[in-house]
Structure 1
């Protein structure tokens, strides 16, 4: 199923769409309206299909977009949101990275790819790959993982990452 909802935060509209069945299968969001959202949704669907995740894209109202918004605003924790994820199609490595990130990097904090890699005894490149493939943005806070020299490195939309961090109370 697919549920999309629009919210206002810090004077901006954020559209959150969630693909779900028994739990959340994927999340996309946009601060730039429907056109960008549709591109993100297409990319997510393609990735989930390649991973063998069975999807129904029939539009149906659900609690999930609001749940994601509540994670963003801090009304519920990332850990609570994480419990709603299906984790279908993820590798064991991705589950380990996402679980660690949710438990250890809290609202208003950032961590470098290298520090996450050190904690998980892997490479910064592997962490970057896991962040790039994250089908659960906001709930799995990949926006809190930053480059050592350039916090916006490897981010397709740096203004999105900055906005999410500012909503969470991060200051540079």
Structure 2
């Protein structure tokens, strides 16, 4: 099922969509409706390529509100970790996502190299796992930055800047390297 809601945050409309069955299979968000529709399509295609059975019909759930609560700091990211299905995620990706979610808290960042060092892997492997993250916000890939700037973000850098600013990490948002 696909649950969608639109919230007002920091003077912006934020679209949040959650694909779920028994647990969360994927999350997407956007700061405009057209981008949100493209994100839903991209997420559905990604999950299906990974062998996840996606039902994108409309369905009601509290998941979009819970994701919003993570954005605004009412819930810790780790509080939703058990709600993630991890379907279609490789063992390496799951290890990265769980470590990141448990160890890099709201208001802080880690570099690709720092995360790679913590997990004994390469920054390039971390970048790939971040790019493929089907659970943005809950798995806080927006908190992973380059050593010399904010780094990249899929699908748009604007989303990473927005999330970091809401979390009060403004020193990284002034160095927008694309």
TM-score interval, smaller chain: over 0.9
Partner of 1:70: 69
Structure 1 residue runs without a partner (length 5+): none
The Cα offsets for residues 97-138 of structure 1, whole Å up to 9 and x where unpaired, read as: 000000110001011000000110000000000000000000
Normalized against structure 1, the TM-score is what?
Answer: 0.96
Is the CA contact (8 Å cut-off) linking 2:142 and 2:153 kept in structure 1?
no
In the TM superposition, 1:20-59 aligns within 5 A as: 20-33=20-33, 35-59=34-58
Query: CA, structure 1 residues 154+37, in 2 after alignment: closer, same or farther (shift >3 Å)?
Result: closer
In the TM superposition, 1:94-133 aligns within 5 A as: 94-133=93-132
Aligned length: 171
Cα RMSD after superposing both structures = 1.1
Normalized against structure 2, the TM-score is what?
Answer: 0.93
Partner of 1:17: 17
After superposing on structure 2, the runs of 4+ consecutive aligned residues of structure 1 that deviate more than 6 Å are: none
1:91 Cα deviation (Å)?
A: 0.4
Partner of 2:86: 87
Structure 2 residue runs without a partner (length 5+): 172-178
Is the CA contact (8 Å cut-off) linking 1:48 and 1:89 kept in structure 2?
yes
